[in-house]
């Protein structure tokens, strides 16, 4: 589909065949970004892994992330941290069971997710369960997803850029400013403590980045560090929260699927044991639940907008240079040519299927594909499986009195990520175990 929105050509790709043709044959030509005004706030786009064009600066940032955060070795080493955050999640929900408290799944997933990321980046927790401590950060992260996903007249009519008629860039500045100010403080404190003789080195991403910054002839500045941390923080929080909330919503709405997931966990893991990362590959039903959640509710419904560097010829059509390219993963997931009963949640469809979300199967490119594929995929894979498995294995969930599973509000709220419009609230009861 070719849309001319103001002065901008927008190409929307809504079939796996076309996505494959574009990404496999023209990956380099479409690997830059159509940078929205929202991402230009505080000049974030000039240092951002997510918004830089493919080039040496972008390659360096990807390499730094892959080596220091997402390599198998690093992920093995940080496993212990994730286990600790999941135990905190379990303990909190267990407390809610005792007091019969209603739990907002999005809230607890947010606290877990933000702490998983903040402890990997900074060795510190940003949020606590049951308090408003993380409210400001939450508003900033979700505010950025909103400003980056809201259609902005200034992106389509460049003469409006100076006026910023919807105030989107200004709002973005406020959210970016808040997060960067927090990171500024953390980085300054760390720099000070690195000068002290008695402070042991931390084993986190910030320490690795500061080491790189302090290498001789390094041109990796503190400014670069803060903007990279910001991208990792924002991209890694909301996407995971949305996935967990949607997975739990679908399972609570489909009690027979919930039972299958529970049975698999109790048979393979055992009632008195917790799920470990090494168990994920032994849980085919849970893996299918996650894939089906990604198919039905992709956290990045259009990926992050790509841009054509040049005119591209494809199937007899020309994509003009500088067009914005949106890969409509949301529509591909709902296409009845590809999926039987496309609108129902059926994890079973993946049990005997080789389709995966690692960028090779264009029916399910939840994380994108090619050069720009999400670098956080291996971490996200672990976080989403573990959080859902913990919530399912340790607790039984029922809806508040008067709410029926089939009447759950399934509306979606579009931004750069796809939120559940109405938060999922449920009451946990403890499964009988000896943990
Ligand atoms: C369920 C969780 C997640 C989903 C579905 C997801 C999805 C995506 C998608 C669709 C893109 C854009 C791909 C493209 O434009 O072709 C992306 C980019 C990115 N993601 Fe993720 N992501 C998730 C979790 C994470 C995590 C945990 C991190 C890091 C902590 C992360 C960091 C990034 C970064 C930095 C980019 C920009 C990469 C670039 O432009 O080169 N993501 N992600």
Measured in degrees and rounded to the nearest 5, phi and psi for residue 377 equal -50, -50
Helices (H), 12-167: 16-25, 37-40, 56-65, 72-77, 79-99, 105-122, 135-149, 153-156
Q: Tell me, yes or no, whether 241 lies in a domain.
A: yes
Determine the distance separating the centroid of ligand 1 and the alpha carbon of 23, expressed in angstroms. Answer: 16
Determine the distance separating the centroid of ligand 1 and the alpha carbon of 266, expressed in angstroms. Answer: 32
Residue 415: per-residue pLDDT? 67
What is the DSSP secondary structure assignment for residue 358, as one 8-state letter?
Answer: S
In this prediction, residue 435 has a pLDDT band, given cuts at 50, 70 and 90, of low
Closest CA to 392 of 285, 294, 295: 285
Q: Which of left, alpha, beta for 369 (phi over 0: left; psi -120 to 50: alpha)?
A: beta
Q: Distance between CA atoms of 233 and 183, rounded to whole angstroms?
A: 11
Strand partners, 9: 4
Residue 239: per-residue pLDDT? 94
Residue-wise pLDDT for 268-287, tens only, equals 999 889 999 999 999 999 99
Q: Tell me, yes or no, whether 435 lies in a domain.
A: no
Q: Tell me, yes or no, whether 359 lies in a domain.
A: yes
Lowest-confidence range among 189-203, 221-235, 321-335? Answer: 189-203
Determine the distance separating the centroid of ligand 1 and the alpha carbon of 375, expressed in angstroms. Answer: 6
Tally of domains within the chain: 1
Q: Which helix (H) or strand (E) holds 258?
A: helix 255-268
Q: Are strands 324-327 and 306-307 parallel, antiparallel or unpaired?
A: antiparallel
374 is in an annotated binding site: yes
Residue 383: CB atoms within 10 A of its CB come to 26
Which residue lies with its CA nearest to atom 7 of ligand 1? Answer: 367
Higher model confidence: residue 197 or residue 205?
A: 205
Percent of the chain whose predicted confidence (pLDDT) is above 90? 82
Residue 138: per-residue pLDDT? 86
Mean pLDDT, rounded, for 395-423: 84
In this prediction, residue 136 has a pLDDT band, given cuts at 50, 70 and 90, of confident
Closest CA to 120 of 188, 202, 235: 202
Question: Would you call 56 exposed, middle or buried from its count of C-beta atoms within 10 A (0-12, 13-18, 19+)?
Answer: exposed
Determine the distance separating the centroid of ligand 1 and the alpha carbon of 234, expressed in angstroms. Answer: 10
Strand partners, 301: 303
Q: Tell me, yes or no, whether 309 lies in a domain.
A: yes
Q: Which of 332, 376, 386 to mutate to test the pocket of ligand 1 (most atoms within 8 A of CB)?
A: 376
Mean pLDDT, rounded, for 47-70: 96
In this prediction, residue 132 has a pLDDT band, given cuts at 50, 70 and 90, of confident
The mean of the pLDDT values for the chain is 93
In this prediction, residue 434 has a pLDDT band, given cuts at 50, 70 and 90, of low
Q: Distance between CA atoms of 156 and 10, rounded to whole angstroms?
A: 10
Residue 134: per-residue pLDDT? 75
Residue 314 has pLDDT above 90, yes or no: yes
Higher model confidence: residue 130 or residue 241?
A: 241
List, chain by chain if needed, residues with CB within 6 Å of any ligand 1 atom. 49-50, 117, 231-232, 235-236, 239-240, 243, 299-300, 303-304, 366-368, 372, 374-376, 379-380, 384
Q: What is the CATH number of the domain that holds 363?
A: 1.10.630.10
In this prediction, residue 397 has a pLDDT band, given cuts at 50, 70 and 90, of very high
Q: Distance between CA atoms of 369 and 359, rounded to whole angstroms?
A: 4
Residue 216 has pLDDT above 60, yes or no: yes
Residue 270: per-residue pLDDT? 93
Residues of the domain holding 229? 2-430
Determine the distance separating the centroid of ligand 1 and the alpha carbon of 156, expressed in angstroms. Answer: 25
Residue 89: per-residue pLDDT? 97
Residue 135 has pLDDT above 90, yes or no: no
Contacts of 373 (CB under 8 A, 6+ apart): 359, 367
Residue 137: per-residue pLDDT? 86
Q: Tell me, yes or no, whether 397 lies in a domain.
A: yes
Mean pLDDT, rounded, for 137-149: 89
What are the DSSP calls for 284-336, one per residue? HHHHHHHHHHHHHS-SSBTBS-EE-SS-EEETTEEE-TT-EEEE-HHHHHT-T
Q: Tell me, yes or no, whether 8 lies in a domain.
A: yes
Ligand 1 atom at shortest distance from the alpha carbon of 384: 1
Ligand 1 atom at shortest distance from the alpha carbon of 369: 16
Residue-wise pLDDT for 409-419, tens only, equals 888 887 666 77
Mean pLDDT, rounded, for 245-249: 97
Q: Tell me, yes or no, whether 158 lies in a domain.
A: yes
Q: Tell me, yes or no, whether 152 lies in a domain.
A: yes
């Amino acid at each position: 589909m070719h849309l001319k929105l103001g002065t901008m050509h927008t190409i929307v790709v809504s079939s796996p065949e076309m996505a494959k043709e574009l990404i496999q044959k023209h990956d380099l030509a479409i690997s830059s970004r159509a940078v929205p005004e929202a991402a230009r706030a505080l000049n974030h786009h000039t240092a951002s892994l997510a918004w830089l064009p493919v080039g040496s600066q972008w390659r360096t940032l990807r390499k730094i992330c892959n080596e220091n955060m997402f390599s198998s070795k690093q992920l093995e080493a940080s496993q212990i941290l994730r286990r600790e955050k999941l135990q905190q999640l379990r303990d909190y929900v267990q407390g809610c069971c005792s007091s019969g408290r209603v739990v907002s799944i999005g809230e607890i997933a947010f606290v877990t997710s933000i702490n998983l990321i903040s402890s990997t980046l900074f060795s510190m927790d940003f949020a606590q369960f049951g308090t408003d401590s993380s409210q400001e950060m939450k508003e900033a992260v979700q505010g950025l997803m909103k400003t980056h996903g809201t259609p902005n007249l200034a992106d389509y009519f460049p003469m409006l850029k100076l006026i910023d008629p919807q105030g989107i860039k200004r709002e973005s500045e406020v959210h970016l400013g808040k997060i960067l100010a927090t990171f500024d403080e953390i980085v300054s404190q760390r720099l000070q403590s690195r000068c002290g003789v008695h402070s042991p080195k931390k084993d986190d991403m910030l320490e690795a980045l500061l080491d790189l910054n302090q290498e001789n002839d390094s041109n990796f500045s503190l400014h670069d560090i803060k903007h990279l941390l910001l991208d990792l923080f924002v991209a890694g929080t909301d996407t995971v929260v949305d996935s967990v909330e949607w997975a739990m919503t679908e399972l609570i709405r489909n009690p027979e699927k919930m039972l299958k997931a529970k049975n698999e966990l109790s048979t393979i893991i055992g009632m008195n044991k917790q799920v470990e990362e090494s168990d994920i590959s032994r849980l085919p039903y849970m893996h299918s639940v996650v894939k089906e959640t990604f198919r039905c509710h992709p956290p990045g419904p259009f990926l992050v907008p790509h841009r054509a560097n040049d005119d591209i010829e494809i199937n007899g059509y020309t994509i003009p240079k500088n067009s914005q390219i949106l890969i409509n993963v949301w529509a591909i997931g709902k296409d009845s040519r590809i999926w039987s009963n496309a609108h129902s949640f059926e994890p079973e469809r993946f049990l005997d299927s080789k389709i995966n979300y690692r960028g090779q199967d264009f029916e399910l490119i939840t994380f994108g594909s090619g050069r720009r594929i999400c670098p956080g995929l291996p971490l996200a894979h672990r976080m989403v499986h573990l959080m859902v498995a913990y919530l399912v294995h340790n607790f039984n969930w029922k809806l508040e009195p008067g709410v029926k599973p089939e009447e759950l509000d399934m509306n979606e709220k579009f931004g750069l990520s796809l939120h559940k419009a109405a938060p999922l609230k449920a009451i946990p009861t403890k499964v009988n175990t000896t943990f």
